[in-house]
Amino acid sequence: MQYTRLGNTGLQVSRLCLGCLAYGTPGKGPQTWSLSEDGSRPFIKKALEAGINFFDTANTYSLGASEEMLGRAIRDFARREDVVIATKVGLPMRAGPNGTGLSRKAIMAEVDASLKRLGTDYIDLYQTHRWDYNTPIEETMEALHDVVKAGKARYIGGSSMFAWQFSKALYVAKINGWTPFATMQNQLNLLYREEEREMLPLCQDQAIGVLPWSPLARGRLSRAPSSVPASARDEQDSYGHGLFKATIEADRKVIEAVGSVAEKRGLPYAQVALAWVLQKQPVVAPIVGATKLHHLDDALNALDLTLTLEEIAALEAPYVPHDITAFS
């Protein structure tokens, strides 16, 4: 396994992060296609055995069940000090005026709830899930700073927002002497490269570690184009369908380019597409999802694949601009 620093911090993380969106309780929350706990544990165990020390979840995944499952698996398969746990706050957890968002009240309540579910006394990386337009960023950043100073989180990060918003959050933290964001978790893959325009240059300039989610575009980059659902998730993932439905024909050419490189190399599509993400700067660790054990094998093998400049050019050539998505 390869390890690297998390942005400008001293924390060492594996170059792959196992995403736990698909692990929880089937039918609980929006992830109707989630694996059960018994079905999820082999993936966490295999990841740990392969040297992956970085795991990402969120309070909203299966409405807390993902955190609970991850916490139990870590206690059974690893030592807490050897593992880096990331979770998130900000999306709806319950009905009512304070059941969502990034107010001080919401953050303080949700961090304690996440700690309890995870069965740990600290979170390594605590991330805002989306921008909260109803709360001043000063309130959010001060609350997150207080979470860090209380020892409940080691580092903080952001996810999927406009570059001006991320820049504002960094500035507000700096002028007030608060803990700054160390990471940005955003959508980045060969079918969605809009983050290259503003966010990636900002992160490189500020030494922010980038943790791309959906590096295989919800699995679309792992197989030849097809109208037939490849899995239960592919069939039921309405959120994922919304991310790409407007660019199906343009995206087909990108997927075919992935297939061409993969065929010449004698490799699966997924390895080629993930290798492209791994070679992007300043990417630290793509967040990979796995619902079949060979998904993890493909991700691990991608670490050893170096694409040539010619191959990268061929993969990138068919891309067309996309509408901004997934910021809310």
Residue 73 lies in a domain: yes
Residue 313 lies in a domain: no
- Surface-to-core class of residue 157, CB atoms within 10 Å of its CB (0-12 exposed, 13-18 middle, 19+ buried): buried
Q: Is the pLDDT of residue 228 over 70?
A: no
- Please tell me the predicted confidence (pLDDT) of residue 105: 97
Residue 263 lies in a domain: no
Q: How many domains does the chain have?
A: 1
Residue 270 lies in a domain: no
Range of the domain at 116: 3-219+278-305
- Please tell me the predicted confidence (pLDDT) of residue 249: 79
Q: What backbone torsions phi and psi does residue 69 show, to the nearest 5 degrees?
A: -65, -45
Answer with the residue of higher pLDDT: 22 or 239. 22
Q: Is the pLDDT of residue 236 over 70?
A: no
| Order of strands, sheet of 84-89, starting from the edge strand that comes earlier in the sequence | 209-210, 181-185, 153-159, 123-128, 84-89, 54-56, 17-19, 287-288
Average pLDDT over residues 139-157: 98
Q: How far is CA 49 from the centre of its chain?
A: 21
Residue 79 lies in a domain: yes
What secondary structure letter does DSSP report for 220?
Answer: G
Catalytic residue among 61, 126, 192, 319: 61
- Please tell me the predicted confidence (pLDDT) of residue 293: 92
Find the CATH number of the domain harbouring 282.
3.20.20.100
**Residue-averaged pLDDT of the chain:** 92
- Range with the poorest average pLDDT among 11-20, 35-44, 48-57, 238-247: 238-247
Strand pairing category for 153-159 and 123-128: parallel
The whole-angstrom separation of Cα 21 and Cα 240 is 13
Assess whether 61 carries a catalytic annotation: yes
Q: Is the pTM of this model over 0.75?
A: yes
Residue 300 lies in a domain: yes
Q: Is the pLDDT of residue 227 over 70?
A: no
- pLDDT digit string (tens) for 160-212? 999 999 999 999 999 999 999 999 999 999 999 999 999 999 999 999 999 99
Task: Please give the share of the chain, as a percent, with pLDDT higher than 70.
Answer: 91
Contacts of residue 76, defined as CB under 8 A and 6 or more positions apart, other chains included, come to 41
Residue 151 lies in a domain: yes
Residue 252 lies in a domain: no
Average pLDDT over residues 77-90: 97
